[in-house]
Structure 1
Amino acid sequence: MEETNTENKTLEEKQVENAILWKQLTKRNEQFMMGLDKILTQANFDEEQKEKKYHQMMTELLASQKAGTTARQLYGTVSECAETILKQEEENPGRSSDFLIAVDGGLLLGSIFALISGVTLLTSKQETALGMGIISLIMNYVVGGIAMLIISKYTPDNNAPKGKKGYGKYILATTLAMLLWMLTMTLTTALIPISINIPLSPYFYIAIGAAGFAAKIYLKKRFRITGSIF
């Protein structure tokens, strides 16, 4: 029941509750949790998942320490406990934060169109052809990330009963998100003068697109981003 109640709380609310629980631990159990926190932090364990796990563990510890049971007796050594948590996370990763999912999606969508813009300019027979300006390029990444985040929140649940999988909401969310992205790009290009929204070299677009893809791959692996579309 504790885990279910914690699920819908914000990260800040979880941290406040956990701080209160932490103060009630015995010195030995507190040292155990400090050692565990150090290992999980070094492993870049998701902050929200970490607070959720700590809430569960400290609730169990407070109930057990009254009978003299220690954290080591419940969970093994600090290293063993951390290894178990990381293994469970690897096998059943939870959804990453909205920020990480937006960054991942923005790097994907923005980089695709940066590459398309660069290649199109290189192969264009019109010498005066211009690509999207630098402000449009930046907005492409930002709004693209927001659009991908919206879509990810409405991904159909194939395990849900028939009629409740959410395909209708997914199609609607995808359509609206893409319209938002295209409208933003169109308005940015049409309303911001070229003197400010400066067009760039096709090689620059290609370089930015390639760097964006590299950053996406690195960040996805580094922070184990889950819940994104791709």
Structure 2
Amino acid sequence: MSDNKPRNADKQEEQVENKEQDTGVTASKTGLTKRNADFMFKLRKEIANSGLNNEKQEEAIHDTEKQLLDGQKSGQTARQIFGTPSERVEEIVRGPKKEAISQNDNYWFRSLDNALIFAALFSAMYAVMSMFQPQTIAKTPGPAGFLAIILTSAVGGLGMGYVYRVLYPDKKAPRPSLWKQIGMTVLAVLVWISCYTLFAALPSSINPLLPPAGYIAIAVVTFGARWYLRRRYGITGGFI
């Protein structure tokens, strides 16, 4: 038993030495740094078990080495470029991840983005008011009704989506004059306020008030939906 331990230790030491020698040879031949050469050493072992044919393996290895050499010029490491060897092999086998097409300039996605944040903010506001200032809602319950919140948010989303498109047109199109920007914004806000007043007059039979938990639930759901929408479709910026 005692004889086996030294033998195992010697074997492990020999394997480490062999790996260091292989890595050193790879680094000297390819011009890679020792760390990047170690990455390639591990990559070769993993890609050999990936199921790819020899031609594709060599092509992938050559491409990886080329990218590493280019990255070295600006101080990038293999991990910064590819992650781990396993992640690089997965990318080679399955292909690069397809990036979602940005809908940043899509009017409907932009309007939905605005409507969701408006619904989240209104719901959060009425949740706080219903808990700490219930008498205020009792005096003017209309705006806090479920249907009023949905409709007000929808109109606000559509209106602000349109204003955003006017203020931030396609890169090739010229931006409108300052006065036109101000006029469009003021007009959109006035229309929104008018709709808000109109929706507040809806009867309680179709525009019921909600308990605080109901408003909180709407705020959480709409905020979460907006977060997913922006992440999934690459939407950035906006009024809020």
Q: State how far apart, in whole Å, the 1-side matches of 2:146 and 2:221 are.
A: 16
Q: State how far apart, in whole Å, the 2-side matches of 1:164 and 1:99 are.
A: 21
| One-letter identity of the residue aligned with 1:189 | A
1:208 to 218, 221, 229: 218
| Contact kept in structure 2, 1:134 and 1:198, CA below 8 Å | yes
- What does 1:9-158 correspond to in 2, within 5 Å? 95-124=104-133, 126=135, 129=138, 130=141, 132-155=144-167
| Contact kept in structure 2, 1:109 and 1:144, CA below 8 Å | yes
Q: Give the SS at the match of 1:144.
A: helix
Moved over 4 A (4+): none
Instruction: Indicate the percent of aligned positions where both proteins have the same amino acid.
Output: 28
Q: State how far apart, in whole Å, the 1-side matches of 2:189 and 2:197 are.
A: 12
| One-letter identity of the residue aligned with 2:215 | Y
Give the structure 2 partner of residue 196 of structure 1. Answer: 206
Structure index of larger Rg: 2
| Contact kept in structure 2, 1:155 and 1:166, CA below 8 Å | no
| Contact kept in structure 2, 1:111 and 1:210, CA below 8 Å | yes
CA displacement at 1:168 relative to structure 2 = 2.1
Give the structure 2 partner of residue 70 of structure 1. Answer: none
CA displacement at 1:170 relative to structure 2 = 2.1
CA displacement at 1:128 relative to structure 2 = 7.0
Post-superposition Cα deviations, 1:93-129, rounded to whole Å, max 9, x if no partner, equal: 6743211111001111221111111111211152872
Instruction: Calculate the aligned-residue CA RMSD, in Å.
Output: 3.2
Q: State how far apart, in whole Å, the 1-side matches of 2:204 and 2:110 are.
A: 32
Q: State how far apart, in whole Å, the 2-side matches of 1:229 and 1:125 are.
A: 30
| Contact kept in structure 2, 1:152 and 1:227, CA below 8 Å | no
1:171 to 175, 182, 198: 182
Q: State how far apart, in whole Å, the 2-side matches of 1:164 and 1:98 are.
A: 17
Closer, same or farther in 2 for the Cα pair 1:125/1:102, shift >3 Å? Answer: closer
Post-superposition Cα deviations, 1:63-107, rounded to whole Å, max 9, x if no partner, equal: xxxxxxxxxxxxxxxx68x97xx59x7xxx674321111100111
| Contact kept in structure 1, 2:127 and 2:215, CA below 8 Å | yes
Closer, same or farther in 2 for the Cα pair 1:199/1:154, shift >3 Å? Answer: same
Closer, same or farther in 2 for the Cα pair 1:211/1:166, shift >3 Å? Answer: farther
Q: How many residues are paired up?
A: 142
Give the structure 1 partner of residue 67 of structure 2. Answer: none
Q: Give the SS at the match of 1:154.
A: helix
CA displacement at 1:172 relative to structure 2 = 1.6
Post-superposition Cα deviations, 1:6-54, rounded to whole Å, max 9, x if no partner, equal: xxxxxxxxxxxxxxxxxxxxxxxxxxxxxxxxxxxxxxxxxxxxxxxxx
- TM (norm. structure 1) is 0.52
Gaps of 5+ in 2: 1-94
| One-letter identity of the residue aligned with 1:210 | V
Closer, same or farther in 2 for the Cα pair 1:168/1:196, shift >3 Å? Answer: same
Closer, same or farther in 2 for the Cα pair 1:126/1:228, shift >3 Å? Answer: closer
Q: Give the SS at the match of 2:144.
A: coil
| Contact kept in structure 2, 1:134 and 1:199, CA below 8 Å | yes
